[in-house]
Amino acid sequence: MRPKILTVDDSKTIRMIVGKALKTFDCEVFEAANGVEGLAVASRERPDLIVLDLTMPIMDGVEMLSKLKSNPELKMIPVIMLTAEAGRENVLKIAKMGVRDYLIKPFKEDVLIERVGRVIDLKPKGEATNKIRRFDDPINILVVDDKPAICEQLKTGLGDTPWIVSGRSQSGEAVDYCSQTLPDLILVSLSLADNAGYTLFQMFRASSKTKNVPIFGMCVKTASDDQVKAQQAGFTGVVTKPIDFDDLKSKIARSLNLDTSYKYFEQKSGVLLLKLPGTFTQNVANEVNIHLRAKVSEAVDSGLDKLILDLSEIRKPDINVIKLGLAAIQLCSELSLKQRIVGSDSVCNECKNFEETKDWKFEGSFDEALASFTGPAMASAA
């Protein structure tokens, strides 16, 4: 359920500032112009937090707070008090009222978010939904590195994706960027001066806005101390330079739970087609294995009883291809799916060199494999 936040202030400007600050988060914001209205809204909506001004006409914050605390149904609602007075006596007076926290006007939006985030779990809009993002969906990546060439290298290396890469060279610039635009993922150089990369990581983790954003540290491959330090600090992972972009894409996909299954699995002509790409790397094998059981089970659940494993783009099958083929065939056996294998003559001949695959039978194309389902089974494993 979305958290409810009630702001009670006679200043329309303050209410607008609070609403604007919370606009990017998955919460409901209610407003009241004085304590009387605030009590009415609180009784009706039962908010998870009240941001309450101290000085208001009709009924001020002190009286409203007193009535809240005397109401058994409302007394447990946490309150953040707003005050224009910064004196020690005033602060002590507020603290004795039983409020959870306080803010002195004027205040910055990020400070308000930080204080609210201490009380309730603020989630950026979209994070709480069940919509699964795909690998080919746009995502925003923030790169914090004082070497402009690294950001340009990342833009080029990720240029075959719809992902947007933005670069900032200093910590302050990165913080300002995040106050305006919430990135989906952050890459931070661990070689920034004065350990600024680690300090920035702690700042991001302390902020309710960025605390759940995956953050990777970047360092040269030989900087083993930095890699260990980043892991101990709690970074999502480490990206080493020179950057392996296939590996980086895989890390990004895993950290954001991006769906990559569509690249390999397709329900076509009444069968589940599993087509492996010609460039079959360990990362590809990992991705397919992650989705294999779920996609085959999904196909069975939707009424399909046939699978075609298409190796036609594979030039020379290696042990990863063999393992994946065996896993697919075993799964088909468990779930009672008929299966066929498509592959070239060279793939067929290569498979004869492996004890596990020497008896595999191959079809020349998808259409041939589809047609063969009406005849005797032709794809099997020793």
**What percentage of the chain carries pLDDT values higher than 90?**
61
pLDDT at 264 over 70: yes
Q: Provide the pLDDT for residue 131.
A: 64
Q: What is the mean pLDDT of residues 229-244?
A: 92
pLDDT at 88 over 80: no
Residue 180 lies in a domain: yes
Q: What amino acid is encoded at 29 in this protein?
A: V
Look up residue 381 and give its two tokens: 């494993």
Q: Do 149 and 237 share a structural domain?
A: yes
* Residues 357/382, Cβ–Cβ less than 8 Å: yes
Give 213 or 100, the one with higher predicted confidence: 213
Q: Do 150 and 109 share a structural domain?
A: no
Q: Do 161 and 113 share a structural domain?
A: no
pLDDT at 365 over 80: yes
| CATH code of residue 272 | 3.30.750.24
- Residue 155: Cβ within 10 Å count: 16
Q: Do 102 and 144 share a structural domain?
A: no
Binning pLDDT at 50, 70 and 90, where does residue 99 land?
Answer: confident
Q: Do 273 and 248 share a structural domain?
A: no
Binning pLDDT at 50, 70 and 90, where does residue 89 land?
Answer: low
User: How many structural domains comprise the chain?
Assistant: 3
| CATH code of residue 250 | 3.40.50.2300
Residue 379 lies in a domain: no
Residue 203 lies in a domain: yes
Among 90, 119, 148, the domain-final residue is: 119
Q: Provide the pLDDT for residue 375.
A: 61
Give CA–CA dist 92/106, Å, rounded. 19
Q: What is the pLDDT of residues 187-213, one digit of tens each?
A: 999 999 999 999 999 999 888 788 889
**Pairing between strand 101-104 and 49-53?**
unpaired
Among 255, 286, 320, the domain-final residue is: 255
Q: What is the pLDDT of residues 301-352, one digit of tens each?
A: 999 999 999 999 998 888 889 999 999 999 999 999 999 999 988 888 888 8
- Residue the block writes with tokens 């998808």: 366
Q: What is the mean pLDDT of residues 218-234?
A: 91
Q: Where are the alpha helices (DSSP H) in the chain?
A: 12-21, 35-45, 61-69, 88-95, 109-119, 148-157, 171-180, 196-206, 224-233, 245-255, 282-301, 319-334, 345-351, 366-372
Give CA–CA dist 158/171, Å, rounded. 23
Mean pLDDT of the chain: 89
Containing domain of residue 97, as a range? Answer: 4-119
pLDDT at 32 over 50: yes
Q: Provide the pLDDT for residue 173.
A: 95
Q: Do 69 and 29 share a structural domain?
A: yes
Look up residue 31 and give its two tokens: 């407003």
Q: Do 106 and 11 share a structural domain?
A: yes
Residue 25 lies in a domain: yes
**What percentage of the chain carries pLDDT values higher than 70?**
93
Among 231, 255, 279, the domain-final residue is: 255
